[in-house]
């Protein structure tokens, strides 16, 4: 996987370095994508890497802990949760972030005239 947004950053960048998205909130976790995959939204599958801050552009392998179930403008857009362990604090931060992120994305979709529901459906833990 490759880190696109380091923990604490506001800007998500594309592979070429251009800005893809500017968040109104700093990311409470490292955010990236899984090489060689294709998600329902046409991009690579998203990944959230818990733990210490990692620099944007870092590539790594990490243990899968679960998935954050997210729907963006009517399209399934789940995010893999990876790291050493998933603490109760991590769960709280993930839920809080997605609560706020969902509301922001709904406003963005309205401004852009995009249709379809946007919602967070919780965390699915790996077995």
- Each residue of 49-100: pLDDT tens digit? 999 999 988 999 999 999 999 998 899 999 999 999 999 999 998 999 888 8
The label of the residue with tokens 């998933």 reads: 86
Phi, psi of 38 (to 5 degrees): -140, 120
- Sign of torsion, CA 91 93 95 97? negative
Distances (CA, A) of 23 to 8, 87, 97, 126: 11, 24, 11, 28
Domain segments of the chain as ranges = 2-121
Give percent of the chain with pLDDT exceeding 70. 100
pLDDT of residue 6: 94
pLDDT at 123 over 90: yes
List, for residues 4-57, the tens digit of each pLDDT value: 999 999 988 777 778 887 887 788 899 999 989 999 988 899 999 999 999 988
Strands 11-13 and 19-22, how do they pair?
A: antiparallel
Q: What mean pLDDT value characterizes the chain?
A: 90
Structure-token pair, residue 18 = 């251009």
**First-to-last CA distance in the chain?**
21
User: Which is nearest to 122 in space by CA: 41, 40, 66?
Assistant: 66
pLDDT of residue 17: 78
pLDDT of residue 71: 92
Check: CATH 3.90.80.10 for 2-121? yes
For residue 99, the Cα-to-chain-centroid distance in whole angstroms is 13
């Amino acid at each position: 996987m490759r880190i696109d947004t380091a923990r604490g950053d506001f800007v998500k960048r594309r592979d070429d370095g251009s800005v893809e998205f500017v968040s109104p909130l700093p990311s409470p976790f490292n955010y990236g994508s899984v090489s060689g995959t294709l998600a329902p939204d046409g991009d690579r599958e998203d990944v959230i890497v818990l733990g210490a801050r990692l620099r944007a552009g870092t590539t790594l392998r990490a243990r899968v802990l679960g998935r954050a179930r997210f729907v963006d403008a009517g399209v399934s857009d789940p995010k893999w949760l990876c790291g050493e362990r998933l603490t109760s604090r991590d769960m709280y931060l993930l839920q809080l972030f997605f609560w706020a992120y969902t509301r922001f994305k709904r406003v963005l979709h309205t401004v852009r005239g995009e249709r379809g529901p946007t919602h967070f459906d919780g965390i699915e833990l790996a077995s």
